[in-house]
Structure 1
Amino acid sequence: MMVRGLRGATTVENDEEQAVLEATQALVEEMAKENSVLPGDIISVLISTTTDIKSTFPAKAVRSIDGWIYVPVMCTHEMDVPGAMPLCIRALMHVNTDIPQRYVKHIYQKNAVKLRPDLQK
């Protein structure tokens, strides 16, 4: 086993609590599923949002997933760079896995697929 970083990002249409929580949960669940990661494999999850997201802490969504209550999660804001994609939620999940780096599946949803078109299926 070794530690790998799984990346992912998604977007919301509006900064509304329910939208942020649903998008965050869908993102991290797909990241885990696509990489065959169980909650006990997760070392930590770092979630960042663009500064236009202020309605809630996205970490709340992660902690509410069945079996994920003990996964360490932290939120932060992205750098406020002019021209950056708005209303964007990014995740970096550190996991114990045997998956070689080149086979890690990074997940980009909604408008965030534009961030890393090179990693799309």
Structure 2
Amino acid sequence: MRGIRGAITVGRNEKEEIWQAAQELITELLRTNAISADDIGAAIFSVTEDLTAAFPTAGVRRIAGFDLVPLFDARQCAIEDSLPRCIRVLLLVNTDVPQSEIHHVYLRAAAELRPDLEG
């Protein structure tokens, strides 16, 4: 089992925007790591305290195959000067791929959270 991390920012605190961002993030994590919903043991999402319009997992449930994946939402710790309107995820994935070949995905302004992964 491997952990795969990702994050994305949202422009506005609106339900559809939160759902679409969560879907975009998961879709990109699946694509870049060549995995499917069947490979995921669980997904843990967190949102910053300024995102209150929707649960990201409600958007992810719209993706084919995610009806059986255990999904969990939580609130990110409120830290001074942290990135606003951010959705983070930790996927627990059944894979034999070595950790060095896992691709973590940080989209939009969330890319600044992991500048070491750019390029």
Asked whether the two chains share a fold, i.e. TM above 0.5, the reply is yes
Q: Give the partner amino acid of 1:10.
A: I
Give the SS at the match of 1:32.
helix
Counterparts of 1:71 and 1:105, CA distance in 2? 20
Correspondence for 1:81:
79
Q: Give the partner amino acid of 1:14.
A: R
Counterparts of 1:74 and 1:47, CA distance in 2? 6
Q: How far did 1:53 drift?
A: 0.2
Q: What pairs with 1:19-34 in structure 2 (closer than 5 Å)?
A: 19-34=17-32
Counterparts of 1:120 and 1:16, CA distance in 2? 28
Q: 1:60 aligns with which of 54, 58, 61?
A: 58
Give the SS at the match of 1:97.
coil
| Aligned-CA RMSD value | 0.7
Give the SS at the match of 2:53.
coil
Q: How far did 1:24 drift?
A: 0.4
Aligned length: 119
TM-score normalised according to structure 1 size: 0.96
Q: Give the partner amino acid of 1:88.
A: C
Identity of aligned residues (%): 38
Q: How far did 1:99 drift?
A: 1.1
TM-score normalised according to structure 2 size: 0.97
Q: How far did 1:95 drift?
A: 0.4
Q: Is 1:12 aligned to 2:5, yes or no?
A: no
Correspondence for 2:99:
101
Correspondence for 1:38:
36
Q: 2:46 aligns with which of 45, 48, 59?
A: 48
Give the SS at the match of 2:20.
helix
Unaligned residue ranges in structure 1 (runs of 5+): none
Moved over 4 A (4+): none
Counterparts of 1:75 and 1:120, CA distance in 2? 27
